[in-house]
Amino acid sequence: MDITSELPDECIANIISKTSPHDACRMSLVSRTFSSAAASNLVWEALLPPDHQQIISESVSSSSSLSTMLSKKDLYFSLCDNPILIGNGNRSFTIHKWSGKKSYMLGARELGVIWGDASQYWKWSSLAESPLLPKSRFSEVAHLVEVCWLHVWGNIETKILSPNTRYGAYLIYTIGDQFNGLEKPVKLSVRFLDEIRCDFINAYLLSRTSMDDAPEEEDAQFPRDREDMWMEIEMGEFFNHDQVDRVVEMELRETEVLNWKSGLVIHGIEVRPKDLR
């Protein structure tokens, strides 16, 4: 007996709404009934982050018609594929497609940058001024002119993230045409501000292939290339329990060797679910 032929469509939608975005899409293939139930607003309203309306309404980039014109399913995929700018335009929000969890990126202007205000050390430029760079989501990116003391960090509040989720923090950057001193390892860390302990990991900002003497270390982080042409390197991870008010700090440092470094271009820090495809 095919129970689904006896259940009202709303009931089937109810069941699908309790699975996950990728399950819901897979279920579209089961039968026509499932296909229509799986596309319903009931399902995607449940799969969208509970506060998506509020986030969209506070966005500085999306039009207010975004949420009224699209079906909930289309809205879901729109937010997955097109990050929206929030805050004062220096942060972006998107949805992690597979899981439906919230993802954010802190633009360079949202980050703490030691010596960032001094133009002999750091330069801030817009997309128009740097046509050769990968496209920036934000109005400005940070160019390292030269520093000895490299220290960049970002903070994010756990209450804006999806609960009960493991998140990874990723520095999104690229290396300019002229660069210097970036072959030395840097230190990366991710920790809750209320924790005393701080574990730094070693990392190399240059990709293995671009270094003449690639280091032998196995437990250092190396970058990977992204589809959007930026590079990213994992700074660390944390688990966001169902708690409200904690702050996570993500840091990049080179403050030991203190050699002169230049040519690093920072797009921002991305915080997205880890290990969820």
Binding site for other proteins (CB under 8 A): 1-8, 11, 14-23, 25-35, 97-98
The separation between the first and the last C-alpha atoms of the chain, rounded to the nearest angstrom, is 35
If the CB atoms of residues 57 and 164 are measured against other proteins, the closer one turns out to be 164
Q: How far is the CB of 157 from other proteins (least distance, A)?
A: 30
Shortest spacing between CB 228 and other proteins, in angstroms: 17
Shortest Cβ 8–other proteins spacing (Å)? 7
Q: In whole angstroms, how close is the CB of 17 to other proteins at the nearest point?
A: 8
Q: Which helix (H) or strand (E) holds 225?
A: strand 224-225
User: Any bridge partners for residue 95, and if so which?
Assistant: 102
Token pair for 14? 């109810």
Q: Give the containing element (helix H, strand E) for 24.
A: helix 21-27
How are beta strands 101-107 and 91-96 bridged, if at all? antiparallel
Of the pair 4, 125, the CB lying nearest other proteins is at: 4
Smallest distance, other proteins to C-beta of residue 5, A: 8
Q: Which residue number, 9 or 237, has a Cβ lying nearer to other proteins?
A: 9
Write the DSSP string, 59-128: -SSS-THHHHHS-HHHHHHHHHHS-EEETTTTEEEEEETTTTEEEEEEEGGGSEETTTT-TTTEEEE-GG
Q: Which is nearer to other proteins, 21 or 49 (CB)?
A: 21
7/211 with CB nearer other proteins: 7
- Location of structure tokens 């990709």: 207
